[in-house]
């Protein structure tokens, strides 16, 4: 066994860390307060490789391995939860399905455009107003063939990046009879006639990462915009989410790490009863728990990413990693606020923002309940 990152991964970690420290961290509070997306991070992140992590080099991407993707997501989460979520939605959801399942024509047309950082991003719309966890049974957005076009009607909800995207990969029902082979993914350019993107939702956290409702009113796109095989949408979605769960877990670790660092700095500086907070054993125990839980989560995130890199099954491990890391981040950030006392509740201090940002992580890309279902299914089958 080897728990060390390889040389390439170490260099990548340093590059992303330095980039995040310079470009994301100083703006994290501002993007949250103003509810604005950090476009500069995209412009400058393109050349660093952050916009093409799932995209092969021949299409302009950096095509990093799963461990390097987890490293980048942790670093992004450490600096700014909002930008981290937008970039994982872009890389993992908005570009990976095209890179993995798309035709050469689709790859050539869209991937170089969205990997450069000069243009808008990619997005994936699975969730609907009436269905999120129940993808197989609940999707009502439908696509029908008419000559050489798909005609799409329906509505999606919570589509991260929709308002700042070049296209939205849309999960649609192509066989009205239903079943596991009735869904497909179709790429819809955001300037398509009949596509309406609602204003960004007003959210509790991650307020610099826009998420939108989207409606499709007789939207027509060429048959060639099908991403992958017709009827394989459910399987492609589940595979996309397995990988995405490692990223959401990694972002959670970054948020928790930032919260712990803030709590340690504050505990050393703040005095009570004639000594610094860090000298109270009660505070030390909280910090010990933070250190322990973050380290455990990171080790397991790397394990699931390593399995993915080996081409081995990792669905159960990704579910465990996401479940543990996301719930861990909530515990750590709760205590980070507690250590800050009243100041922890103030928007002047970053820990309240991190706490709000972390709250999404147990919901997006499969709730904690769904992760437990996945884990139980594997355990009971074994
Ligand atoms: C900020 C944000 C960004 C998002 N970005 C995207 C995006 O880019 N693309 C996209 O497609 N979606 C996105 N989502 C949607 C997200 O993936 C869904 O909210 C999530 O999958 C849960 O679906 P739901 O909200 O419909 O909840 P529901 O599925 O209605 O679930 C409600 C509750 O019931 C529980 N539940 C449901 N089924 C079961 C069951 N079988 N057993 C036990 N409990 C169950 C759930 O765990 C949850 O607690 C985003 C959401 C948010 C808030």
pLDDT tens per residue across span 214-239: 999 999 999 999 999 999 999 999 99
- Residue 133 CA to ligand 1 centre (angstroms): 5
Q: Is the CB of 211 under 6 A from ligand 1?
A: yes
Q: What is the pLDDT of residue 100?
A: 98
Mean pLDDT of 49-78: 98
Q: What is the pLDDT of residue 258?
A: 98
Probe target for ligand 1 pocket from 367, 369, 373, 375, with the most ligand atoms within 8 Å of CB: 367
- Is it the case that residue 47 has pLDDT exceeding 80? yes
Just list the catalytic residues. 365
Residue 207 lies in a domain: yes
Q: Is the CB of 165 under 6 A from ligand 1?
A: no
Same domain, 265 and 357: yes
Q: Domains in the chain: how many in total?
A: 3
Residues 39, 51 contacting (CB under 8 angstroms) = no
Q: What is the pLDDT of residue 288?
A: 98
Q: Read off the CATH number of the domain in which 141 is found.
A: 2.40.110.10
Same domain, 366 and 249: yes
Same domain, 357 and 325: yes
Same domain, 250 and 340: yes
300-310: b (≥16 Cβ within 10 Å) or e: bbbbbbbbbee
Q: What is the pLDDT of residue 129?
A: 98
Of 140, 153, 94, whose CA–CA distance to 365 is shortest? 94
Same domain, 56 and 99: yes
pLDDT in tens, 91-135: 999 999 999 999 999 999 999 999 999 999 999 999 999 999 999
Q: What is the pLDDT of residue 1?
A: 86
Same domain, 147 and 187: yes
Residues 326, 303: Cα–Cα separation, whole Å:
16
Same domain, 242 and 372: yes
pLDDT in tens, 254-297: 999 999 999 999 999 999 999 999 999 999 999 999 999 999 99
**63 secondary structure, DSSP code:** -
Q: Is the CB of 89 under 6 A from ligand 1?
A: yes
Residue 2 lies in a domain: no
Residue 239 lies in a domain: yes
Same domain, 137 and 268: no
Ligand 1 atom with minimal separation from the 125 CA: 11
Q: What is the pLDDT of residue 99?
A: 98
List the residue whose alpha carbon is closest to atom 27 of ligand 1.
132
Residue 1 lies in a domain: no
Q: Is the CB of 246 under 6 A from ligand 1?
A: no
Residue 26 lies in a domain: yes
Same domain, 335 and 294: yes
Same domain, 358 and 344: yes
pLDDT in tens, 143-159: 999 999 999 999 999 99
Same domain, 243 and 371: yes
- From 231, 248, 275, the end of a domain falls on 231
Same domain, 164 and 203: yes
Q: Read off the CATH number of the domain in which 26 is found.
A: 1.10.540.10
- From 188, 209, 231, the end of a domain falls on 231
- Residue 132 CA to ligand 1 centre (angstroms): 4
Ligand 1 atom with minimal separation from the 133 CA: 29
Q: Read off the CATH number of the domain in which 264 is found.
A: 1.20.140.10
Ligand 1 atom with minimal separation from the 160 CA: 8
Q: What is the pLDDT of residue 382?
A: 75
Q: What is the pLDDT of residue 64?
A: 98
- From 121, 143, 176, the end of a domain falls on 121
Q: Is the CB of 127 under 6 A from ligand 1?
A: yes
Q: Is the CB of 16 under 6 A from ligand 1?
A: no
Judged by DSSP in three states, 222 sits in strand
Q: What is the pLDDT of residue 110?
A: 98
Residue 324 lies in a domain: yes
pLDDT in tens, 322-345: 999 999 999 999 999 999 999 999
Residue 224 lies in a domain: yes
The total of other beta-carbon atoms located within 10 Å of residue 38's CB is 23
What is the span of the domain harbouring residue 270? 234-381
CA dihedral angle for residue 70, residue 75, residue 78, residue 84, rounded to 10 degrees: -70
Mean of the per-residue pLDDT values for the chain? 98
């Amino acid at each position: 066994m080897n728990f060390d990152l390889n040389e390439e991964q170490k260099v990548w970690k340093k590059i992303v860390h330095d980039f995040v420290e310079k470009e994301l961290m100083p703006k994290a509070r501002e993007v949250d307060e103003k509810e604005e997306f950090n476009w500069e991070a995209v412009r400058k992140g393109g050349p660093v490789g952050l916009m093409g992590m799932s995209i092969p080099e021949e299409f302009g991407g950096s095509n990093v391995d799963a461990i390097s993707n987890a490293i980048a997501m942790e670093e992004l989460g450490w600096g700014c939860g909002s930008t981290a979520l937008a970039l994982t939605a872009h890389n993992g959801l908005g570009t990976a399905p095209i890179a993995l399942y798309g035709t050469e024509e689709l790859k050539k047309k869209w991937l170089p455009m969205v990997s450069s950082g000069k243009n808008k991003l990619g997005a994936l719309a699975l969730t609907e107003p009436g269905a999120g966890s129940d993808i197989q049974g609940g999707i009502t957005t439908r696509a029908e063939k008419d000559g050489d076009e798909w005609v799409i009607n329906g509505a999606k909800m919570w589509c991260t990046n929709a308002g700042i995207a070049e296209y939205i990969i849309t999960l649609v029902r192509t066989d009205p009879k239903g079943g596991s082979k009735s869904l497909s993914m179709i790429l819809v350019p955001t300037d398509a006639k009949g596509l309406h993107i609602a204003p960004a939702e007003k959210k509790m956290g991650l307020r610099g990462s826009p998420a939108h409702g989207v409606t499709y009113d007789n939207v027509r796109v060429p048959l060639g915009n099908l991403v992958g095989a017709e009827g394989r949408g459910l399987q492609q979605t589940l595979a996309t989410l397995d990988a995405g769960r490692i990223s959401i877990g990694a972002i959670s670790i970054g948020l928790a790490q930032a919260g712990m660092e803030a709590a340690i700095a504050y505990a050393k500086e703040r005095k009570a009863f004639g000594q610094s907070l860090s000298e109270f054993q009660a505070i030390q125990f909280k910090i010990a728990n933070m250190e322990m839980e973050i380290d455990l989560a990171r080790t397991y995130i790397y394990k699931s990413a390593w399995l993915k890199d080996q081409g081995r099954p990792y669905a159960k491990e990704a579910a465990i990693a996401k479940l543990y890391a996301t719930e861990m981040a909530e515990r750590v950030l709760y205590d980070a606020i507690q250590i800050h006392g009243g100041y922890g509740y103030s928007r002047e201090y970053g820990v309240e923002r991190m706490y709000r940002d972390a709250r999404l992580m147990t919901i997006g890309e499969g709730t904690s309940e769904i992760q437990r279902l996945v884990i139980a299914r594997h355990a009971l089958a074994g």
